[in-house]
Amino acid sequence: MSVFCKICNCKTKEIFSEKSKALYHKCLSCDFIFKDDDHLINAEEEMERYNQHKNSVDDLEYVAYFKDFINKAIIPYCPKAEKVLDFGSGPSPVLTTILERDYGFEKVDIYDLFYSPEKVYEGKKYDLIVSTEVVEHLKDPLKYFLKFKELLVDGGFLCIMTLFHPNDDDKFKSWWYINDESHISFYNNKSINKIAEKVGLKIVYSDNRRYLSLKR
């Protein structure tokens, strides 16, 4: 049975990784790669995986990791924002703390499917939405990008961190990023461009590796 791309609805090819023991589908048009539905873990298993994360604002290396993202993907484009949403903030909202404490952003709203599930963003519009190490977990990413656009004011920014996949089947099969069973969606500039085109956002920055900034 044919499987079509979740982004552009074009044909895909199969990639099976012996390393992760999982089947993936790669779009022949936009390069988006997604894990086969039969190989997805359930919500309980995903929560267990997240609970293994022990990140803290006291971890200087982890803080530096976020500051590099902020300095490259956020500050040059949106140095000040009155209304900010950290979408997928995790068990410990380290990014939010850094934005407020070290960069002078006003109170940042946080949302996380597991740890802060109240949809505080409903009925609101944001100048800036940040989403770090989140979009690789989304089963239907296009739906979320449409939601991000809806939540942004005109001229607002969406800043994302996710590791771009190596656009090579053999390298993908052994790529360390697929070791995490909760990682199910993988992008590169081509697939992000297609998403931006479909939802009505404009890419203003990409480091071609991990950081993205999009503008409404």
Strands (E), the chain: 12-17, 22-27, 33-35, 84-87, 108-111, 126-132, 152-161, 185-186, 202-206, 211-215
pLDDT value at position 53?
Answer: 65
Q: Please tell me the predicted confidence (pLDDT) of residue 71.
A: 98
* Class of the CATH domain delimited by 55-167+179-215: alpha beta
pLDDT of residue 147 exceeding 70, the answer is yes
Q: Are 113 and 134 in contact (CB under 8 A)?
A: no
Q: Using an 8 Å Cβ cutoff, are 44 and 114 in contact?
A: no
Of 146, 172, 160, nearest to 206 by C-alpha is 160
pLDDT digits (tens, 9 = 90+) for 60-75: 899 999 999 999 999 9
The pLDDT value given to residue 145:
98
Ordered by start, the domain boundaries in the chain are 55-167+179-215
**What is the reported pLDDT for 11?**
98
Looking at residue 18, the DSSP 8-state letter turns out to be T
Please write the tens of the pLDDT for every residue from 76-135: 999 999 999 999 998 888 999 999 999 999 889 999 999 999 999 999 999 999 999 999
Provide the whole-model pTM.
0.94
pLDDT in tens, 151-207: 999 999 999 999 999 999 999 999 999 999 999 999 999 999 999 999 999 999 999
Looking at the chain, the whole-number percentage of residues with pLDDT higher than 90 is: 87
C-alpha–C-alpha distance, residues 192 and 189, integer Å: 5
How would you label 15-37 residue by residue, b for 16+ Cβ within 10 Å and e otherwise?
bebeebebebbbbeebbbbbbee
